[in-house]
Amino acid sequence: MADLMHRRGLLQMSGAVIAAPYLWLPTRAEEPQWATQTVAPFVEVEIASGKIKGGHSRGALAFKAIPYAGSVSGKNRFKAPPPVESWTGVRDCTRLGSPAPQGPGTTFGEHEPKPAEDCLILNVWTPAVKDGGKRPVMFYLHGGGFTTGSGGQNIQDGSHLAATYDVVVVAINHRLGLLGYLYLGELGDYPESGNQGQLDMVAALSWVKQNISVFGGDPNNVMVFGESGGGYKTAMLMGMPSAHGLFHKAGIQSGPGLRGMSRAEATETTRRVLAAFNLTDPAKLFDVPVEKILGLQLAEGKGALATPTKEWAAHHAPKPGDRSMAGTFGPVTDGKVLPADPFDPVPTPLSASMPLLIGNTRDEAVFFYRDDPAFFKKDEAAVRAMAQQALGAKGDEVLALYKKNRPNASPAELVIAVATAMSFGNDTITLADRKSQQPAPVYRYRYDYQSNAPVKGSDWTIRAGHASDISLVFLNQEILDLQGNGPGLNEAAHAMSSYFTSFARNAAPKAANQPAWPRYSTAKRPVMLINSQCQVVNDPDSEERKFWQSRG
């Protein structure tokens, strides 16, 4: 996946709460130096591994960089995370922790330390502590594909969501890239390798089960959700026996994960990693400095692991229905940690009783072309060449169909519509269709709010592009980002955050002054179009859906 750009929030707000014996109520706290800073008065609580200190942030309590597992460096690389080690004294949890190793400019946090191999920490935002609360827990998995990102990005800060809707929000960092998803299962006795990043998430969910009641959360009402790569990770968790019972609802935003990477494909990648380091013994990978591992991971994007064989190249070429979000590194359907592809060809039975909220943005692909302003000026001939390259003989047929349904669309707008369907839209529909055959309800949406954030070097805006919905889910629309600052933004943010939090509470998405959201089925295919004024439409763009589904 393309990396989200690092952006600093512009919002300056004063947090506000003081102590009662066990409950924290609104009052004035210390003025923060940046929007999401954790400030005094500070708060101490005790969890299973020791005492921690948090503070106030934007109307809620925040506890950051809490360890949920032990060290995963050295001899613990490529393995399931070990238990967290206890500590004495009071651990300062007022600042963000390190994200997983990744390239410069790709971390998401504001005032975040540099990446580190030992990165298994989580952040908690809550309205109150030690009050006997039974609040829904919203457990967020960050985007950035499987190679970048962190749970500390400012627009994903959980303070507003916790304070406004009386929920507990958790966001985690976990292993990424080679350290999180390199598969050694066919080359030695490494039973958890290939999915160690996913097992980090299971460890964090186990931490939630053990500790979240201290923060007023209900361990028996946990929703896992995520955007982009975070949505894909959520789908994979739904098919993991070790995660079963640790969460009870799921939300997938622009990240429909139908299947994992095959063992053969993952093993071939590993052989090429070993060759790149001039190694024959996988055990020697434990001694490779993390800087070299990250260097190879970054170089892979430039073909460092490429091979002249057409078969291997075909596995790694993005195409509709493939694991293009995972790229070279991602969860492996190994028959153990991930026994089967979660939603291909049928949904995992592990998800049968789990309600699902799923959707994508209307103009996803704008995000991925935003660094190429010349794209937005392409003429019909150039667009036709792009379609033929991507779809072969079907290219002209696809363009003709989309042009018929969008007679006033520019050439670039046609490409955006087609690319959005191929990258996220089609698999979102497929996953929703298959999951809807199970007893638990499915609710499908399309995010339509049109951002006015400019695309540099063009006369375009981001529109309803990929990742422009993140800040709205978290009710952080004041922090300037991809969502822009146009009319109707507040209404759209309250609608989307209300739908998500009410779904987390009781699996029934609702929002004040917005329409009721019907359960999804393949009979009518109702989709909530989320905007400043939402609406339900049955089977939007049905002709295009039928075309793609006819292709298989």
480, 379 contact by CB (below 8 A): no
> Using 50, 70 and 90 to split pLDDT, how confident is the model at 326?
very low
Could you give the percent of the chain with pLDDT greater than 70? 89
- 425 Cβ partners below 8 Å, 6+ apart? 360, 364
Residue 431 has pLDDT above 50, yes or no: yes
Shared-domain flag, residues 368 and 485: yes
- Tell me, what's the pLDDT at 306? 56
Shared-domain flag, residues 265 and 183: yes
- 382 Cβ partners below 8 Å, 6+ apart? 411
Q: What is the mean pLDDT of the chain?
A: 91
Of 292, 323, 354, at which residue does a domain stop? 354
> Using 50, 70 and 90 to split pLDDT, how confident is the model at 310?
very low
- Tell me, what's the pLDDT at 241? 98
CATH number for the domain spanning 399: value is: 3.40.50.1820
List pLDDT tens digits, range 114-130: 999 999 999 999 999 99
Quick check: is 228 catalytic?
yes
Shared-domain flag, residues 425 and 542: yes
Comparing CA positions, the residue from 215, 206, 63 lying closest to residue 133 is: 215
Q: Does residue 448 sit within a domain?
A: yes
Residue type, 296: L
Of 320, 354, 388, at which residue does a domain stop? 354
List pLDDT tens digits, range 339-355: 999 999 999 999 999 99
CB atoms within 10 A of CB 27: 12
Sole residue written with tokens 């993140």: 470
Shared-domain flag, residues 381 and 318: no
Residue 32 has pLDDT above 60, yes or no: yes
Alpha carbons 272 and 276: distance in angstroms, whole number: 6
Shared-domain flag, residues 341 and 411: no
1, 144 contact by CB (below 8 A): yes
Shared-domain flag, residues 339 and 378: no
Shared-domain flag, residues 91 and 197: yes
Shared-domain flag, residues 418 and 487: yes
Residue 495 has pLDDT above 90, yes or no: yes
Shared-domain flag, residues 143 and 235: yes
List pLDDT tens digits, range 201-248: 999 999 999 999 999 999 999 999 999 999 999 999 999 999 999 999
Quote the radius of gyration of the chain (alpha carbons, Å): 23
- Tell me, what's the pLDDT at 22? 34
Beta pairing, strands 451-454 & 461-463: antiparallel
Residue 5 has pLDDT above 70, yes or no: no
Shared-domain flag, residues 152 and 209: yes
- Tell me, what's the pLDDT at 303? 64
Shared-domain flag, residues 329 and 390: no
Its domain, for residue 467, covers 362-551
Give the pLDDT mean for 24-40.
76
Q: What are phi and psi for residue 287, nearest 5 degrees?
A: -100, -5
- Tell me, what's the pLDDT at 255? 97
- Tell me, what's the pLDDT at 106? 82
> Using 50, 70 and 90 to split pLDDT, how confident is the model at 302?
low
Tokens of 443: 């609710």
> Using 50, 70 and 90 to split pLDDT, how confident is the model at 300?
confident
CB atoms within 10 A of CB 270: 22
Which tops the pLDDT comparison, 26 or 373? 373
Give the pLDDT mean for 544-551.
95
- Tell me, what's the pLDDT at 108? 66
Among 228, 471, 497, 502, the active-site one is 228
Residue type, 24: W
Beta pairing, strands 24-25 & 50-57: unpaired
Q: What pTM was computed for the model?
A: 0.92
List pLDDT tens digits, range 379-423: 999 999 999 999 998 999 999 999 999 999 999 999 999 999 999
> Using 50, 70 and 90 to split pLDDT, how confident is the model at 14?
very low
- Tell me, what's the pLDDT at 31? 84
